[in-house]
C-alpha cells in the first residue's frame, strides 16, 4: 500500500481527530480498490419473503462483500459512499452484476436483485455485461431485479427513467432501494415507474412499538400502492414487527428475522449434498 503523503490531506484547520479520520478513510479506500482490482469480492444472499403466513421466498438480494488483506469482510456501509464517484465504484457494480448474472445462469428459477448506481448506466463495461447476458439467455431478464437507491436515481433522473423503460421491455424489474431516506420528488417517482418500493429500515426497526414509524410506514405503503409497486419492508428483525407489517398490507419482508446475508445460500448447500456445488 502506498505511503500516505500528509500533503494529500488538508489539515490547516482540522483537529487531530479529523486528520486521523481522514487518514483512516483514505486507507480504507486503498484497501477496497486493491481488492476490487484483484477481483476479491463475493455476493452474500438475503431472502425477501412474502408477507403471508407461509413466508415463501419471493427473491433474493445479492449484496456485495469485499474482504481486506486478512480475509475479513469490510462492511459495505463503510466504503460505498466513499467510492461512489470513483471508477472503483463502477468496478464494484460490474463485479456485483457479473456474479449475479452468473448465479442466475447456474440456478434456473432463481429470482435475484443486484444493486447498482445510476452512474453505471453510462459505464460501458457494466452495460456490456448486462446486454450480453440478456442476449445470451432470454430468461435472465425476467429473473433479474436491479436495485437503485433513491439518492442515486435522483442524480440523473432522465437517464435512469429511459434506461429503466428500455430494460423493462426486456423483462428486467427495478426496485427503488432505501425509500424514504432521500429526496425523490413525486414527479420523478411517477416517471420512473419502479416495480418495487423498498421502505428504508429506519422506519421499520422498532415499528411494533413506535407509533411515528407506524404512521410513516403506512404513508410510504400508500405511495407504493398508488403507483402500482410492490412494497418491501427492510430491516425486519422480530416476529411482532413481521406480523404488524403483514397486517397493514406490506407485500414482502426482508431482514435478519428471515435470514442474514450468507455466501452459502440454499441452492449452493443443496448442490454440495449432491456433489455438484459451485462457489459463487
Residue 78, pLDDT score: 83
At 10 the pLDDT is 43
Give this prediction's pTM: 0.87
pLDDT digits (tens, 9 = 90+) for 51-107: 999 999 999 999 999 998 888 898 888 888 889 989 999 999 999 999 999 999 999
The pLDDT value given to residue 189: 79
pLDDT of res. 129: 98
Residue 2: C-alpha distances to residues 30, 74, 95 (Å):
8, 19, 24
Spans in the chain with pLDDT lower than 50: 1-12, 19, 277-280
Dist. CA 161–CA 271, nearest whole Å: 39
Distance separating alpha carbons of residues 273 and 183, to the nearest angstrom: 47
In words, the CATH class of domain 41-273 is alpha beta
What are the structural domain ranges in the chain?
1-38, 41-273
Amino acid at each position: 500500500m502506498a505511503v500516505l503523503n500528509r500533503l494529500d490531506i488538508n489539515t490547516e484547520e482540522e483537529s487531530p481527530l479529523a486528520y486521523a479520520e481522514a487518514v483512516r478513510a483514505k486507507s480504507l479506500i486503498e484497501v477496497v480498490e486493491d481488492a476490487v482490482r484483484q477481483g476479491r469480492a463475493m455476493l452474500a444472499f438475503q431472502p425477501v419473503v412474502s408477507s403471508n403466513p407461509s413466508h415463501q421466498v419471493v427473491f433474493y438480494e445479492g449484496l456485495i462483500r469485499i474482504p481486506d488483506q486478512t480475509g475479513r469482510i469490510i462492511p459495505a456501509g463503510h466504503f460505498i459512499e466513499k467510492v461512489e464517484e470513483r471508477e472503483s465504484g463502477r468496478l464494484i457494480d460490474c463485479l456485483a452484476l457479473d456474479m449475479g448474472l452468473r448465479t442466475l445462469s447456474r440456478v434456473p428459477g432463481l429470482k435475484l436483485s443486484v444493486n447498482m448506481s445510476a452512474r453505471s448506466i453510462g459505464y460501458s463495461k457494466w452495460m456490456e455485461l448486462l446486454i450480453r447476458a440478456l442476449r445470451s439467455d432470454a430468461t435472465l431478464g425476467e429473473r433479474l431485479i436491479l436495485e437503485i437507491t433513491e439518492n442515486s436515481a435522483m442524480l440523473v433522473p432522465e437517464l435512469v427513467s429511459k434506461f429503466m423503460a428500455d430494460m423493462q421491455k426486456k423483462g428486467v424489474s427495478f426496485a427503488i432501494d432505501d425509500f424514504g431516506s432521500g429526496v425523490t420528488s413525486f414527479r420523478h417517482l411517477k416517471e420512473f415507474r419502479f416495480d418495487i418500493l423498498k421502505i428504508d429500515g429506519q422506519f421499520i426497526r422498532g415499528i411494533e412499538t413506535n407509533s411515528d414509524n407506524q404512521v410513516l410506514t403506512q404513508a410510504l405503503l400508500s405511495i407504493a400502492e398508488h403507483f402500482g409497486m410492490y412494497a418491501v419492508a427492510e430491516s425486519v428483525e422480530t416476529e411482532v414487527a413481521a406480523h404488524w407489517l403483514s397486517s397493514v398490507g406490506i407485500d414482502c419482508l426482508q431482514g435478519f428475522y428471515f435470514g442474514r446475508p450468507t455466501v452459502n445460500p440454499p441452492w449452493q448447500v443443496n448442490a454440495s449434498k449432491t456433489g455438484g456445488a459451485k462457489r459463487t
